[in-house]
Amino acid sequence: MLLLETMDILLILGIPVLILVILAIVIIVIYNSLVTTQKQVDNAWAQIDVQLKRRADLIPNLVETVKGYAKFEQKVLTDVTKARSAILSAKTPKESAAGENMLAGALKTIFAVAEAYPTLKANESFLKIQEELSSTENKVAFSRQFYNDMVMKWNTMIATFPTTIIASMFGKKKEREFFEANEEEKKSVKVDFSDLGK
């Protein structure tokens, strides 16, 4: 009889302890998942940063190459320098996007003006930098996509049950912002072939 009572007491005490152990394991697994995803988002942002820095490092070489061939507008060169500084000092996706927009406009102007200088277009340094910039643009685009995928994963995790409870308990409820295209990049491209027949 005493053995049965002891087993009943152990069973009664054991069930809540088992439930607490299971709950603790679930909390630990969810918390670790949150930390892992948060680190993936940070890493994805760092990869964008690496590619933007690489591109920014190519800009002075491009400017020097162009300066040697053309009496370039000072404003274009100043715009490129300002855009490079804006990208290197950006701390958020929004600031980075603003710097990127400035740089994209300035680079378009440089390449458009370079069209007027055949010797510049044929210059080996100019072609190499142009090729490296193109390659870097592809890497930037891939890095942005990866970052946005990680941000989506993070934002979804902290908004869904039961992760949202654990995220709130540990102060990990802040959504991350996506790297978004500016309004200029969203506009449709207009193609005009009317001059081809002339």
Model confidence pLDDT, tens digit, residues 143-196: 989 999 999 999 999 999 999 999 999 998 899 988 876 555 444 434 333 443
Output the pTM of the full model. Answer: 0.70
Tell the burial category of 80 from Cβ atoms under 10 Å away from its Cβ (0-12, 13-18, 19+).
buried
pLDDT recorded at residue 123: 75
Nearest of 168, 133, 163 to residue 59 by alpha carbon: 133
**Cβ atoms within 10 Å, residue 93:** 20
- Is pLDDT larger for residue 104 or for residue 139? 139
Q: Are 164 and 173 in contact (CB under 8 A)?
A: yes
Tell me the C-alpha distance between 67 and 116, whole Å: 14
